[in-house]
Chain A
């Protein structure tokens, strides 16, 4: 394995990342084993690893993983359509933007998950309560980033479009939108993180659905290694969605 091969395949950063993670686990293992960290608060990483098999076999973690993935996917699709749509609308209608931008920004920091009783009344104890809370809580960053991306399009690119006599619709779809895509995707990624936090949070609170419910049940049983193993699956959902958006962005907006 030559040094050139390592450089070309970007292997070193990946290996370094994995090594850092392993070193962290070893450190925690030592600290817990030596009693520096209370084992009733943080389990040993080795116990978490061995509990994976148990929660896969006994707790149906894979089907719960797909339930949470499905909820996150539904919320993300609704986010992309509605959030980007609202961002475009606010960009086009200046009066509406001036009237609502501050409110949308304020909504981004509101703990909407605490409104789950209202959603329970509206949608019942169903998957729609979980999806809708995830969707509503994640909407502001997508709207605001879409607006920021469209407003931040360089004037010279718009002038190029105007010099070629583009119609307003062509100007939007051929120049403004592709130019804004990287910023829009930052918003979509942020929104997905917001959505996933709220989805798992609501599943935990109403004891319904996928991984959030499992984390709730395992923690109620004081099964700490199982709880942490289930949280690893929540992180896996986040990683899968993050990688998927990166692929979609590269496909939609090559050259960056």
Chain B
């Protein structure tokens, strides 16, 4: 359970939703903790409550049982120490790259020249030098997601919370952006919690992986990833990487099958109702 030096502690979270078919338990007694500088991935099949967990930890969802705390302080709403990167494209289309990245600094009341200097640093950190004056509509999907990342990093959160940030990108871009995340995490010693359904992404980036069960979302297992750091995407070719992917897939396969069966039954039921 939570060790004394954990920066993020998630204790016994239960989240239920009222649905037309009755009460649905999305997250069921999930607990874990994250140490400073650690990279933890939460992986599970679609519909296992990963995004619900992301919203609970980020303070965007209330009405749950259990407790989330950052450095001992209970989270009851969006917490200034938690920076969030969302799955959907979330740049502000009416702001240039530099103005997007400077957004949290502007909200914090920082002066114009100081915030632009700082924003420029984070634009460089995600590798977008030279694109400061471009609008999001002029960038690719991967570049836009890097703008979102730089914007969140500019607020200097103690914990970076990412919900499948590369889900909409192709595999090659995803691997290369994974390198960028690894480099940033290494440079900033950034504590990171990644929500994902992508096995290779989870193993490539993480120190530990929490595997969730399909509905209700419970902790199935926590796997320590003992791959050397610093890492790059070249690690995906190693035997050890393959071993971890196979090991986690063994855990996930059963859960993913349940999800698939559940989907098929739901579609069949809907078809029966239409007839």
Contact = CB atoms under 8 A, between A and B. Distances in A.
**Co-complex (A, B):** yes
Interface of A: 154, 156-157, 159-160, 162-166, 170, 174-175, 178-179, 181, 253-256
B88 A163 contact: no
Contact of A156 (B88, B96, B152, B155): B88
A63 B152 CA distance: 56
Interface stretch (B15-23, B77-85, B170-178, B211-219): B77-85
Contacts of B58: 163
Given A157-B90, A255-B94, A163 B84 contact: yes
A106 to B, nearest CB: 33
Contacts, number: 57
Interface in B81-107: 82-84, 86, 88-90, 92-96, 103-104, 107
B168 interface: no
Given A174-B107, A256-B137, A163 B60 contact: yes
B94 A162 contact: no
Contacts of A255: 93-96, 135-137
B94 A178 contact: yes
B96 A164 contact: no
A166 B107 contact: yes
B84 A159 contact: yes
Interface string B68-80: 0000000000101
B133 to A, nearest CB: 11
Interface residue SS majority, chain A: helix
Contacts of B155: 164
Nearest to B58: A163
A167 to B, nearest CB: 9
B160 to A, nearest CB: 11
Contacts of B82: 163
Interface residues of B, number: 25
Contacts of A170: 107
Nearest to B135: A255
A127 B114 CA distance: 52
Given A163-B59, A164-B104, 16 more contacts: A156-B88, A156-B90, A160-B92, A163-B58, A163-B60, A163-B83, A164-B78, A166-B107, A174-B107, A175-B92, A179-B94, A254-B96, A255-B93, A255-B94, A255-B135, A255-B136
A179 B60 CA distance: 20
Contact of B103 (A154, A156, A164): A164
Contacts of A178: 92, 94
> Most chain-A CB neighbours within 10 Å: which of B80, B84, B93, B152?
B93
Contacts of B152: 163
30 contacts: A154-B88, A156-B86, A156-B88, A156-B90, A157-B90, A157-B92, A159-B60, A160-B84, A160-B86, A160-B92, A162-B60, A162-B78, A163-B59, A163-B60, A163-B82, A163-B84, A163-B152, A164-B104, A164-B107, A165-B78, A165-B107, A166-B107, A174-B103, A179-B92, A254-B135, A255-B94, A255-B96, A255-B135, A255-B136, A256-B94
A253 B90 contact: no
